[in-house]
Amino acid sequence: MSLLELIALADERGLAASALACLDRCLPLLTDGDAPEPLRPLWASCEDGQEWATRLKAVRQAVESVDITDGAAVQVRAMLAAAPSDFTAGPLREWADACSYVALDVHRQFDFPGAAVDGAGLLRRCRAGDPEGGGPLVTGELRRQAQILEVLAETSGTVGSGAGLLRVLDLSTEGRRVLRAVMTRRTRGQV
Q: Which residues in 127-146 are b (16+ Cβ under 10 Å) and which e?
A: beeebeebbebbbbbbebbb
Contact 111, 136 (CB under 8 A): yes
pLDDT score of 36 = 59
Domain tally for the chain?
1
* pLDDT of 4 above 80: yes
| Averaged pLDDT, 16-45 | 83
Q: What is the pTM of this model?
A: 0.90
What is the domain range of residue 127?
Answer: 3-190
pLDDT of residue 159: 66
C-alpha distances out from residue 122 to 7, 79, 95, 116, 164, Å = 18, 20, 20, 12, 30
